[in-house]
Structures are given as structure tokens and as C-alpha cells.
Amino acid sequence: MKYNEQTRRYFETAARAGVLSGSLVYRGAAGNREYGTWVQFDLQTASGILEDARFLAFGCPHTIAVAAWVAEQAVGQPLIRRLPGSVQAISLQFAVPVEKLGRLLIVEDAWLAALDSAITEA
């Protein structure tokens, strides 16, 4: 499969891959490795602002690239229960084939679960 430049760049670098540690880490996950896609986000916040975000992902390059992009884009933003872009816009930006759109919904579910955890505690 051919991947566009943005997908390749975020997949190959995955700069925000990993986990956060400490007492104020908010975590959300979605998916299932046995079914081929699993994503986890860890967030740290202060005063209603997302200070740091990390992710772990098991899946195709599109899944990993989008999770990396979401974590990068959200840092410094207010805690609002949404992705940094719509699933449709993200799918176009990363040239995600229609048959893989369910994987983007797993990324979204994991992101919203992490945000829900942070917002509930804030």
C-alpha cells in the first residue's frame, strides 16, 4: 500500500509515542489487539490546558500516524472533548482508505476516553 507524505512522516517519527508517568496522568484506551487495532492516550493537564500527550498504538501505519498527529496537535490546547479535527478531515489529510475508517474511530474513542478522564478530574 502507498502512504501519503504526512502518513509516512508521522508513522516513521511517531515523536509522541510512549507513556506518561506521575500522579496526574489521565489515560484512555480503545480497540483490541486481537482485532488488529488498539490505541491508548496519556494526558497531563494544568488549568484546563493540555500540557502533554503521549500515545501507544497497535495497528497499521495510518492508525499510528493519526494517533501521533492527534497527540502532537492537542498539546497547548484547552481541554475540549473533541479531536483536533474531524474524522473526515483527518481521513483526507492522511489519505486513509474507506476500509480503514473504523480504525480512525478507535483513535477517536481512545482520545475521548482520555479527555473524559481528565475533564472528570479537573
Residue identified by cell 500500500 is 1
> Would you state the pLDDT for residue 56?
98
Mean pLDDT in runs of 10 for the chain (122 residues)?
A: 94 95 93 96 94 97 98 95 93 96 97 95 68
Helix (H) or strand (E) holding 38: strand 37-46
Between helices 61-74 and 5-13, what is the axis angle to 10°? 80
Q: How far apart are CA 68 and CA 56, in angstroms?
A: 9
> Would you state the pLDDT for residue 1?
79
> Would you state the pLDDT for residue 22?
84
Name the pTM for this structure.
0.94
Domains observed in the chain: 5-117 (3.90.1010.10)
> Would you state the pLDDT for residue 40?
98
Sheet holding 37-46, edge to edge: 26-32, 37-46, 49-58
